[in-house]
Homo-oligomer: A and B are copies of this chain.
């Protein structure tokens, strides 16, 4: 393709779900300090909601999403993406296999969450995790958080469906108010167990628990969509040599 238009393009492997991808695009724009269009980050979103369900596949009940995700990576590379983010936590169960075949770096969502925990003043300690059953069972977060000095508390087995899986499914159906009512007690329950932060480790959960309501909780909320946006903005700043005023 025409090199004259090349640039520091962020690639987004999305559609898992499509509202989470759209929200990442919005948050990326809102969190980027820019006074004009031209100061924003060039981005390519591959939103393929046909990618088979990740939790079902991990639990060996559905079609393998890997070839679909690798196809998206290839399309993003061909279109000119220089780095890739995947706004779906459960998709990261295939991270190692995707990263091994990708020709550009892929930011790991848990690494982005760790950076955001640190940025929100929680450098170590006990954190509560809400996510899909597959993400919780796999230890995806637990192992990476442990390596950074965090202890990871997950909802009690009988609470996972009620406080995580159900609000995630409601969000995918567009029922955000019902999703909020189902997910909120999950946050409260983890807070009661003495966590120093809550990680929304599924990209549907930040949609169910919007920023406007987070001030009422006693601990910081680390949102895996915002964490990816911050990581992408940090990457872009390094590419373009821009520095924050406080760097």
Contact = CB atoms under 8 A, between A and B. Distances in A.
A29 B37 contact: no
Number of copies: 2
B37 A30 contact: no
B37 A5 contact: no
Contact of A172 (B5, B37, B78): B37
A26 to B, nearest CB: 4
Contacts of A7: 48, 50
A25 B18 contact: yes
A15 B37 contact: yes
A100 interface: no
Contacts of A246: none
A7 B15 CA distance: 14
A1 interface: yes
A23 to B, nearest CB: 7
Given A18-B40, A38-B53, 13 more contacts: A1-B78, A4-B71, A17-B29, A17-B40, A18-B28, A18-B29, A19-B26, A34-B173, A34-B174, A35-B173, A36-B173, A42-B50, A75-B80
